[in-house]
Amino acid sequence: MPDLPLGDLLELDRRHVWHPYGPMPGRQEPLVVESASGVRLRLADGSGELIDGMSSWWSAIHGYNHPVLNEAVRGQLGRMSHVMFGGLTHEPAVALAKRLVDISPEGLEHVFLTDSGSVSVEVAVKMCLQHWRSLGRPEKRRMLTWRGGYHGDTWQPMSVCDPKGGMHELWQGALPVQVFADAPPAAYEEAYADHLRELIERHAGELAAVIVEPVVQGAGGMRFHSPAYLRVLREACDAHDVLLVFDEIATGFGRTGALFAADHAGVTPDVMCVGKAMTGGYLTMAATLCTSRVADGISRGEVPVLAHGPTFMGNPLAAAVAGASIDLLLGQDWPTEVKRIETGLREGLAEAEALPGVREVRVLGAIGVVQLEHPVDMEAATRAAVREGVWLRPFRDLIYTMPPFITGDDDVAQVARAVCAAAREG
């Protein structure tokens, strides 16, 4: 069906195709994208192009149709698009794992490649629980996290998402019951640090690990917090025999101004998840990294293996483009680019602070957030942004952007104008 008329395509989409967090049949009319290049999405209805203020959910950091990434996929495609990873291995996966070990916080040595962020969190939880099980402490099987988090949509990740107002409230009672701390305040407060220490100490006997998104909580509310809390977590976890997991799926690869958000605090977690921007937004792949301590624990068990092995584990196409994307990032002065976008967003979003109905404007790295005092009128906000030539996807009371790192100054200004327009009309 190469030339499906637009009306038919939309009708088939509505009737048969599930979209993220959507009902069936669909109620909202999605925009049909025909192609994408640089920072722009070209719409199929002939209405022109939109700047992508979302980087396709944090992932397309180098923009679309990038010649270097295209070539990485094309080159790999000519050799093999996939082979199983059980009993076989290949250069793209090994080279990617080596890069991840080299650039991630010191001490993370081992890499488990998965096909999505949610699965990388499942693997992280499995690693932590199995570590304690192997050491004869199976009662250490709960996770602790702070409220306001988001870790994905499969079962274990849902159990550590914010239990209130998030997308997974429906599942309370069915999910594993985890331990929740209050949401982290933006600035460092000793009383909150004590709250974390106290909870970890009180539950240490049953805790396998603490899992958090470092510095920026993404889809759970776009909140920022002091990196100093990461050091508090590290110390408390060490003191009470609890592992520490950082979910860097949204924050990794430069988004917050550091290569990994953990770098803001100089902390190494025991386990770290990366995804989203890892492949430059080209293909679906994520990874779970761990220290030798975690791997050794698992190896000492009665079942000395990690019993996980996705069919498409280590997919060569995804691994090749991930390697190319990381090289592309490190081969440029990315901190300056992210800083430039941060400055542009700060300037452009300043006017939103004075708008009626705006609670707070916050910017960190290449992330800009306008939080309203009321739930966003999604349709009105989206329409306002599209009228300004920008694609945004607000949720709850939040209008936000994390544009590709290649977004030029004029385009950053346009994105900021669209965020302000969406805040005014949404």
Binding residues for ligand PLP (CB under 6 A): 116-118, 121, 150-152, 213, 218-219, 247, 249-250, 275-276, 286
Q: Catalytic: which of 64, 150, 192, 282?
A: 150
Give me the least distance between CB of 190 and ligand PLP, in Å please. 27
Q: What is the DSSP string of 290-329?
A: EEHHHHHHHHTSSS-S-----TTTT-HHHHHHHHHHHHHH
In degrees and rounded to multiples of 5, residue 330 shows phi and psi of -70, -20
Q: Catalytic: which of 247, 263, 270, 411?
A: 247
**Per-residue tokens: 303:** 């079942």
Q: What is each CA distance from 111 to 18, 98, 144, 232, 359, in whole angstroms?
A: 32, 9, 23, 26, 41
Check the annotation: does 311 bind a ligand.
yes
Which of 288, 401, 407, 269 is closest to 338 using CA atoms? 407
Is 98 annotated as catalytic? no
Give me the least distance between CB of 212 and ligand PLP, in Å please. 10
Is 409 annotated as catalytic? no
Pick between residue 49 and residue 213 the one whose CB is nearest to ligand PLP.
Answer: 213
* CA 253 to the chain's CA centroid: 10
Check the annotation: does 57 bind a ligand.
yes
Is 192 annotated as catalytic? no
- The residue whose Cβ lies closest to ligand PLP is 117
The contacts of residue 150 (CB under 8 Å, 6+ apart) are: 161, 162, 166, 213, 217, 218, 219, 220
Pick between residue 66 and residue 151 the one whose CB is nearest to ligand PLP.
Answer: 151
Pick between residue 367 and residue 418 the one whose CB is nearest to ligand PLP.
Answer: 367
Using the CB atoms, write b or e for 380-419: b if 16+ within 10 Å: ebbebbbebbbbbbbbbbbbbbbbbbbbeeebbebbbbbb
Q: Catalytic: which of 3, 21, 102, 333?
A: 21
The contacts of residue 174 (CB under 8 Å, 6+ apart) are: none
Give me the least distance between CB of 18 and ligand PLP, in Å please. 15
Check the annotation: does 310 bind a ligand.
yes
Check the annotation: does 117 bind a ligand.
yes
Q: Catalytic: which of 64, 263, 276, 411?
A: 276
Are the beta carbons of 24 and 15 closer than 8 angstroms? no
Give me the least distance between CB of 257 and ligand PLP, in Å please. 17
Pick between residue 248 and residue 337 the one whose CB is nearest to ligand PLP.
Answer: 248
* CA 304 to the chain's CA centroid: 30
Check the annotation: does 150 bind a ligand.
yes
Pick between residue 257 and residue 348 the one whose CB is nearest to ligand PLP.
Answer: 257
The contacts of residue 239 (CB under 8 Å, 6+ apart) are: 201
DSSP structure class, residue 64: B
Give me the least distance between CB of 272 and ligand PLP, in Å please. 11
Is 397 annotated as catalytic? no
CA distance 281 to 60: 4
Check the annotation: does 81 bind a ligand.
no
Pick between residue 122 and residue 337 the one whose CB is nearest to ligand PLP.
Answer: 122
Binding residues for pyridoxal 5'-phosphate: 117-118, 247, 310-311
Active site residues: 21, 150, 247, 276
Binding residues: 57, 117-118, 150, 247, 276, 309-311, 393
Binding residues for substrate: 57, 150, 276, 309, 393
